[in-house]
Structure 1
Amino acid sequence: MKYSDLAGKSAAELQAMLKEKKTELFTLKIKQKMMQLQNSSELKTAKKDIARINTALTAVAK
């Protein structure tokens, strides 16, 4: 996901995406604790996506 993909979205869409990504991150963390996560780089990707969404939300709020 790139920031340019998020720039045109509304605040409601971004909030929905943020909730979805946070749920995904939670699931990945649980899988990691239970030693079921195959690719640990998914955690890093999910965190960066959450940060990009938060940045887009801040830009929309201004």
Structure 2
Amino acid sequence: MAKVKVTLVRSLAGHPGDQRATVVALGLGKTNSSVVKEVTPQIGGMLHKVRHLVKVEEI
């Protein structure tokens, strides 16, 4: 499977709790934190849900 680098580029302030929980489940905490993930259908759905908050780069 492909790997992607996910970076939190926008603050979670003012966003719904389900989006906050999704970002935390991806392993992101503070703004500009990054994590490398394998692309699975579950991770793809999570990234789609918070696509306005994160930057995704293929590795």
Shorter-chain TM-score range? 0.3 to 0.5
Larger radius of gyration: 1
Q: TM-score, normalised by structure 2?
A: 0.36
Q: TM-score, normalised by structure 1?
A: 0.35
More strand as a share of residues: 2
More helix as a share of residues: 1
